[in-house]
């Protein structure tokens, strides 16, 4: 018999934020709970003078990581391998130095937030399930990493360029709406002025799959969410129907606090509807590390059958998709997740998202990338024998 | 049940004149790829290399996103219109009185340039 949380589960909601590493956002939680694989405070990276640049709890909400730290394939390769062949995570400061040639500034890539500065993310991480080993799918930038969340592969891409879906790997949305019995799925972008990162394959050909964040909020109020929802934050500062809209994606150099409010609003919209709350699992995850320091070397993984050429990787060697990208924050939220769960000893990546959704709503499904077939799924974490009634609420200050 | 207070980002952090990031540049390029496949009347004719700020980017992103939705909605309407009418509906329609109202011809667009 499945645990009651899984038995009640009708909706899976994924909120994917932008460009922050695990240690940068949640590393300080190790001091509160030693099971969380964060920072001891002794981690360093050599700067270009060979002096040790330490991790420091000095991250700021905005205007600190400017220029945007490089997180394209060659830069991430340097960050992880520091010019060698062993993943030591010693090349972050050197990589950031390459952009501004400023030693003092390059050390800021080691800065991290204290839990007090991130009340939403820190509270969710300690109240629900935080993953010690959730890695981005590729040591590279946004678009190819997000592709793993939608398709279980990036179809051989390691950069921001266009990619086209190759059969037989359907998007998770198409799998659900084509299934028998049919399921429902939607991608919610913030609004038309922010739009989506999933343009060339989905928005262009299937705009009916998309809704706005307002639609998501209305759906929560009415208790009418699709079976699977994927939410994208606001990617730019702009004027909207309700006044000024701050970018909420947390991509440098957007304000971190706007992202905190956004995460809280997604959580609260689900929680405010009692029926939805008991039947929904929310995953908050970041697409990639954005060039910011993390201390855990990304592990090898099952190749996904594609190969990026030496020309595409920009490092003079091809990439067989046999290693994951840098670790990112990931938190699973549900009243059926025991308080203070720390997921350890298992490796997750963005292919875990379509793998989990497929497993729960469709069951056996063969036409998936080898990476997705091997990916860990996460609904076994809904183990609480009874629905929790002690979950926190968020309120704007 | 704990209530956690969430600090609101100061309005001073709003900066629509911020130079577009690599992420937004890619989003714009992807949107342009989609835009160029739209029927001409839905295309924005915005020169994307002139986009410098988040304000400019947002405007382009909005216009193309709305155009994609409009083009698809229009195509769906057309498909619905073209759907062959089943025989029994034709028979039923024949029994209904004919609409004799005069339909207004669509206004012609004025041509610009030399006469």
| pLDDT tens digit sequence for A98-143 | 999 999 999 999 999 999 999 999 999 999 999 999 999 999 999 9
Kindly tell me if the per-residue pLDDT of B22 is higher than 80: yes
Average pLDDT, chain A: 97
A54 φ, ψ (degrees, to nearest 5): -85, 160
- Per-residue pLDDT, averaged over A249-275, amounts to 98
Cα separation, A382 vs A202, whole angstroms: 31
Q: Does the distance separating the beta carbons of B5 and A397 come in below 8 Å? A: yes
Confidence of residue B95 (pLDDT cuts 50, 70, 90): very low
Q: Is residue B7 part of a domain?
A: no
CA nearest A317: which of A73, A71, A143, A69? Answer: A73
Total number of domains in chain B: 1
A222 φ, ψ (degrees, to nearest 5): -85, -10
Q: Compare CB distances from B14 to A119, A244, A397 and report the shortest one's residue.
A: A244
Q: What is the DSSP letter of A133?
A: T
Q: Which tokens is B77 given?
A: 């309407």
pLDDT at A380: 96
pLDDT at B90: 52
CA A80 to each of CA A86, A88, A224, A289: distance values in angstroms, whole numbers, following the listed order: 8, 6, 44, 12
DSSP per-residue string spanning B8-27? PPPGGG--TTSBPPHHHHHH
* Complex-level ipTM beyond the 0.90 threshold: yes
pLDDT at B86: 62
pLDDT at A272: 98
Identify the weakest region by mean pLDDT among A242-246, A267-271, A282-286, B90-94: B90-94
- 3-class DSSP assignment, residue A240: strand
Q: Is residue B113 part of a domain?
A: no
Kindly tell me if the per-residue pLDDT of B91 is higher than 80: no
Cα separation, A55 vs A274, whole angstroms: 42
Kindly tell me if the per-residue pLDDT of B94 is higher than 90: no
Which residue range forms the structural domain that includes residue B42?
16-93
Q: Does the distance separating the beta carbons of A200 and B30 come in below 8 Å? A: yes
Confidence of residue A229 (pLDDT cuts 50, 70, 90): very high
Q: Is residue B76 part of a domain?
A: yes
CA nearest A87: which of A344, A324, A329, A302? Answer: A324
B-interface mutation test, from A70, A123, A162, A247, most B Cβ less than 10 A away: A247
Domains and CATH numbers, chain A: 4-39+113-381 (3.40.720.10)
Q: Is residue B8 part of a domain?
A: no
DSSP per-residue string spanning B57-69? HHHHHHHHHHHHH
Q: Which tokens is A391 given?
A: 């979950």
pLDDT tens string A302-336: 999 999 999 999 999 999 999 999 999 999 999 99
Query: Do the beta carbons of residue B67 and residue B43 sit within 8 Å?
Result: yes
Strands (E), A76-175: 129-131, 134-135
pLDDT at A167: 79
Q: Is residue B104 part of a domain?
A: no
Cα separation, B18 vs B41, whole angstroms: 31
Kindly tell me if the per-residue pLDDT of B102 is higher than 70: no
Kindly tell me if the per-residue pLDDT of B114 is higher than 50: no
Query: Do the beta carbons of residue A218 and residue A205 sit within 8 Å?
Result: no
A132 or A3, greater pLDDT:
A132
Q: Does the distance separating the beta carbons of A246 and B23 come in below 8 Å? A: no
Confidence of residue B108 (pLDDT cuts 50, 70, 90): very low
CA A175 to each of CA A8, A181, A202: distance values in angstroms, whole numbers, following the listed order: 22, 11, 13
pLDDT tens string A31-74: 999 999 999 999 999 999 999 999 999 999 999 999 999 999 99
Question: Going by C-beta distance under 8 Å and a sequence separation of 6 or more, which residues neighbour residue A26?
Answer: A36, A38, A121, A122, A125, A130, A329
Q: Is residue B110 part of a domain?
A: no
Cβ of residue A167 closer than 8 Å to a chain B Cβ? no
Cβ-Cβ contacts under 8 Å, A119 against chain B: 4-7
Average pLDDT, chain B: 82
Cα separation, B86 vs B92, whole angstroms: 10
Q: Does the distance separating the beta carbons of B68 and A251 come in below 8 Å? A: no
pLDDT at B85: 61
pLDDT at B111: 43
Cβ-Cβ contacts under 8 Å, B13 against chain A: 61-62, 246, 255, 257-258
B-interface mutation test, from A117, A238, A387, most B Cβ less than 10 A away: A238
Q: Compare CB distances from B26 to A160, A246, A256 and report the shortest one's residue.
A: A160
DSSP per-residue string spanning A320-361? -S-B---B--EEEE-TTSPTTEEE-S--EETTHHHHHHHHHH
Q: Is residue B2 part of a domain?
A: no
- Per-residue pLDDT, averaged over A248-269, amounts to 98
pLDDT at B110: 44
CA A216 to each of CA A98, A191, A236, A258, B101: distance values in angstroms, whole numbers, following the listed order: 41, 11, 19, 18, 43
Q: Is residue B29 part of a domain?
A: yes
Kindly tell me the sign of the dihedral angle through the C-alpha atoms of A200, A206, A209, A214.
Answer: positive
pLDDT tens string A19-32: 999 999 999 999 99
Query: Do the beta carbons of residue A261 and residue A396 sit within 8 Å?
Result: yes
pLDDT-above-70 percentage for chain A: 100
CA-based nearest residue in chain B for residue A264: B6
pLDDT tens string A157-213: 999 988 888 878 999 999 999 999 999 999 999 999 999 999 999 999 999 999 999
Cβ-Cβ contacts under 8 Å, A20 against chain B: none
Kindly tell me if the per-residue pLDDT of B113 is higher than 50: no
Cβ-Cβ contacts under 8 Å, A192 against chain B: 61-62, 65-66
Q: Does the distance separating the beta carbons of A237 and B16 come in below 8 Å? A: yes
B-interface mutation test, from A158, A192, A257, most B Cβ less than 10 A away: A192
CA-based nearest residue in chain A for residue B70: A207
Cα A161 → chain centroid: 20
pLDDT at A168: 85
- Per-residue pLDDT, averaged over A6-17, amounts to 97
pLDDT at B87: 59
Kindly tell me if the per-residue pLDDT of A276 is higher than 90: yes
């Amino acid at each position: 018999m499945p645990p009651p949380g899984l038995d009640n589960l009708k909706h899976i909601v994924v909120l994917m934020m932008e460009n922050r590493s695990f240690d940068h956002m949640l590393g300080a939680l190790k001091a509160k709970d030693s099971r969380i694989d964060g920072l001891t405070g002794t981690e360093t990276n050599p700067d270009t003078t060979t002096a040790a640049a330490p991790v420091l709890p000095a991250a700021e909400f905005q205007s600190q990581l400017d220029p945007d730290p490089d997180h394209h394939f060659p830069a991430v390769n340097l960050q992880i391998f520091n010019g060698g062949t062993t993943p030591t995570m010693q090349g972050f400061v050197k990589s950031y130095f390459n952009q501004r040639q400023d030693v003092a500034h390059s050390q800021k890539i080691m800065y991290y937030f204290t839990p007090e500065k991130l009340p939403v993310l820190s509270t969710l991480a300690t109240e629900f399930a935080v993953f010690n080993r959730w890695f981005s799918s590729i040591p590279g930038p946004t678009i190819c990493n997000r592709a793993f969340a939608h398709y279980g592969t990036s179809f051989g891409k390691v950069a921001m360029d266009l990619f086209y879906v190759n059969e037989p790997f359907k998007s998770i949305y198409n799998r659900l709406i084509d299934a028998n019995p049919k399921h429902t799925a939607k991608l919610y972008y913030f609004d038309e002025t922010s739009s989506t990162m999933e343009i060339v394959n989905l928005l262009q050909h299937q705009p009916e799959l998309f809704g706005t964040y307002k639609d998501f909020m209305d759906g929560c109020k009415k208790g009418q969410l699709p079976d699977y929802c994927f939410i994208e934050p606001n990617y730019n500062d702009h004027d909207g129907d309700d006044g000024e809209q701050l970018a909420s994606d947390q991509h440098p150099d957007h304000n971190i606090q706007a992202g905190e409010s956004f995460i809280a609003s997604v959580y609260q919209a689900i929680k405010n509807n009692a029926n939805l709350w008991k039947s929904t699992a929310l995953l908050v995850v970041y697409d990639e590390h954005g060039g910011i320091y993390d201390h855990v070397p990304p592990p090898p993984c099952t190749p996904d059958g594609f190969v990026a050429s030496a020309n595409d990787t920009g490092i003079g060697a091809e990439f067989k998709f046999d290693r994951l990208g840098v670790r990112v924050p990931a938190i699973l939220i549900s009243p059926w997740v025991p308080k203070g769960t720390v997921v350890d000893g298992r490796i997750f990546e963005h292919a875990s998202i379509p793998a989990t959704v497929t497993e729960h709503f469709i069951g056996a499904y063969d036409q998936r990338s080898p990476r997705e077939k091997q990916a860990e799924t996460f609904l076994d974490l809904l183990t609480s024998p009874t629905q929790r009634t002690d979950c926190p609420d968020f309120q704007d200050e | 049940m704990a209530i956690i207070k969430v600090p609101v980002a100061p309005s001073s952090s709003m900066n629509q004149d911020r130079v577009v990031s690599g992420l937004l540049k890619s989003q714009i390029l992807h949107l342009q790829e989609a835009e160029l496949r739209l029927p001409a009347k839905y295309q924005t004719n915005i020169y994307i290399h002139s986009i410098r700020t988040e304000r400019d980017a947002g405007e382009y992103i909005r216009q193309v996103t709305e155009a994609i939705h409009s083009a698809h909605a229009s195509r769906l309407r057309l498909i619905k219109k073209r759907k062959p009418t089943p025989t029994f509906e034709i028979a039923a329609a024949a029994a209904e009185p004919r609409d004799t109202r005069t339909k207004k011809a669509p206004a012609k667009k004025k041509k610009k340039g030399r006469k």
